[in-house]
A and B are shown apart, each in its own frame.
Chain A
């Protein structure tokens, strides 16, 4: 296709504008985390590391981080079990209602978070009469994390096929031996990637969490949201935001590397 130089320049300018639009706000947060102003004023009136020191020694923030890690680990564990079982069922079997089950897996992430949130809030509080707390957050998070594990393992199972497992059974290995020595090594990295994404998803989640956490348990996103509106805490939130950007990038990068061979 022939594109005139003028159009080409305009296109590149538009692309550059979009990139600035995407990245500038993130850099503003990084800059503000070192700013002496606590009102988000621009340009930053001075440089300080005070907020970093205060954030990294803030007990509530550190508690919130460990809460988030525990919740993310627990819900990832459940999601790994359920997601793996589902992906085997949907990849290796034909059965009535298969597409419905497929829809069921995607639904918790496809419906608006607020719907999932109040549906679970209502189910826990009104229907089951359970106190909101650790267990309810973990159940809620696991529900929408299943899909990430499912997607990864499902793609891997489609790629590896069943011939090695059949060979294993033909050679006399039982179901458990075949799984341990043949199937598991083949899906290990997909499980790891799905688990990482699930961890990241749970670690960041805010909407469903606000409806299922109750007042006693504070995850990191809830801590951020609570402190964002307190004038003196604004720069501490900036520091935590920067840390979260860094934390989010690492697992995503690793997961991408591990699964890039699946999409080829």
Chain B
């Protein structure tokens, strides 16, 4: 204890040498013990609950289910992996889910670019702040509520039917198109925000220089802005892409009979009671996400998340 008894200021009382005091002195001197105390509980929880569960899931994919009793049999085999790799239904569903993820990502980028540009470069400061809040707020409204909102919008005789009816169209209803619209809606704020942040970082002087040198708006956008904000766009696409790959609730709510990887996993855990097969299917989106992350890693998008 750094108490200096020889100093001219008279020290009346030394700290009491209680157990607690000795304990804290010990902790003060032993940084490793402090670290171990801090890390033990969280690492136990995350390691033994979560990582162990993920590893167990991977292992379960190589087991099978007794078709008679429904119990899981610990018999090592590659049946589930062979099934999902060879049966055409799994290929079709994987392709459909990938297509949905790609479509949702394209729609979201197309919607996000103009509003992010307005927020970052066109609007004045106070409008900018209001727009940021307006984009942030629905991000925190419940996922389920937002999916339900689209069930309202897409319903037969619902609001979209009525609106499009004014110009002679009608609502796509519950199905693949409905699911695409709803998923685009759900992930849109996640795509807008990284693009907006990237645009904010583009210095105005660069844009001025570009127009001073005679470039028109579109040329400036294509040759100056786009290369600078590409990491932001990719960061946004990671959200829309991977969230769509894993989704099943929104597809259930507005997708009608549409099957995606998520709904396949869900039916195999629930009604079909085939957890090993579900585990094997679940590794398709994980593999795709890791391939996607690996592909975009070089662009520097991951540090923009």
A residues at B contact (CB < 8 Å): 1-4, 7-8, 10-12, 14-15, 18-19, 21-26, 28-29, 32, 39-43, 78, 81-83, 85-86, 88-89, 93, 95, 101, 104-105, 107-108, 111-116, 118-123, 126-127, 139, 142-143, 146, 169-170, 172, 174-176, 200, 204, 206-207, 211, 221, 224-225, 228, 237-238, 241, 244-245, 248-249, 252, 256
Q: Given A12-B122, A112-B242, verify A127-B56 contact (CB < 8 Å).
A: yes
A-B contact pairs, 19 of them (CB 8 A): A2-B211, A2-B217, A18-B111, A19-B115, A78-B45, A85-B41, A93-B38, A101-B43, A104-B47, A104-B51, A112-B289, A118-B265, A123-B52, A238-B152, A241-B142, A244-B142, A245-B141, A248-B142, A252-B137
Q: Assess the A249–B137 pair: CB atoms within 8 A.
A: yes
Report the bound CA distance from A104 to B15 in whole Å.
Answer: 41
Q: Given A12-B118, A81-B41, A126-B275, verify A245-B142 contact (CB < 8 Å).
A: yes
Return A35 CB to nearest CB of chain B, in Å.
Answer: 10
B residues at A contact (CB < 8 Å): 1-3, 15, 20-21, 23-25, 27-28, 31, 34-35, 38-39, 41-43, 45-47, 49-54, 56-57, 60, 72, 111-112, 114-115, 117-119, 121-122, 131, 134-138, 140-146, 148-153, 155-159, 161-162, 185, 188-189, 192, 204, 207-208, 210-211, 217, 220, 242-243, 245-249, 253, 262, 265-266, 269, 275, 278-279, 282, 285-286, 289
For residue B286, which residues in chain A have a CB less than 8 angstroms away from its CB? 111-112, 115
Interface of B is mostly: helix
Q: Given A114-B265, A172-B15, A176-B24, verify A26-B141 contact (CB < 8 Å).
A: yes
For residue A120, which residues in chain B have a CB less than 8 angstroms away from its CB? 49-50, 53
Report the bound CA distance from A95 to B159 in whole Å.
Answer: 57
Q: Assess the B122–A85 pair: CB atoms within 8 A.
A: no
For residue A170, which residues in chain B have a CB less than 8 angstroms away from its CB? 2
Report the bound CA distance from A14 to B15 in whole Å.
Answer: 69
Return A260 CB to nearest CB of chain B, in Å.
Answer: 12
Partner of B138, one of A22, A39, A95, A225: A22
Q: Assess the B38–A85 pair: CB atoms within 8 A.
A: yes
Q: Assess the B151–A42 pair: CB atoms within 8 A.
A: no
Partner of A28, one of B131, B135, B159, B188: B159
For residue A22, which residues in chain B have a CB less than 8 angstroms away from its CB? 134-135, 138, 185, 188-189
Report the bound CA distance from A175 to B156 in whole Å.
Answer: 65
Task: Across the interface, name the chain A residue whose C-beta is closest to B184.
Answer: A21
Task: Across the interface, name the chain A residue whose C-beta is closest to B161.
Answer: A42
Interface hub of B41, B145, B157 (most chain A Cβ within 10 A)? B145
Return B159 CB to nearest CB of chain A, in Å.
Answer: 4
Q: Assess the B152–A25 pair: CB atoms within 8 A.
A: yes
Q: Assess the B253–A228 pair: CB atoms within 8 A.
A: yes
Return A72 CB to nearest CB of chain B, in Å.
Answer: 13
Return A210 CB to nearest CB of chain B, in Å.
Answer: 8
Q: Given A82-B41, A245-B141, verify A18-B115 contact (CB < 8 Å).
A: yes
Interface hub of A93, A119, A221 (most chain B Cβ within 10 A)? A119
For residue A204, which residues in chain B have a CB less than 8 angstroms away from its CB? 142-144
Return B25 CB to nearest CB of chain A, in Å.
Answer: 8
For residue B3, which residues in chain A have a CB less than 8 angstroms away from its CB? 172
Q: Assess the B23–A175 pair: CB atoms within 8 A.
A: yes
Q: Assess the A21–B142 pair: CB atoms within 8 A.
A: no
Report the bound CA distance from A4 to B218 in whole Å.
Answer: 11
Partner of B56, one of A12, A123, A249: A123
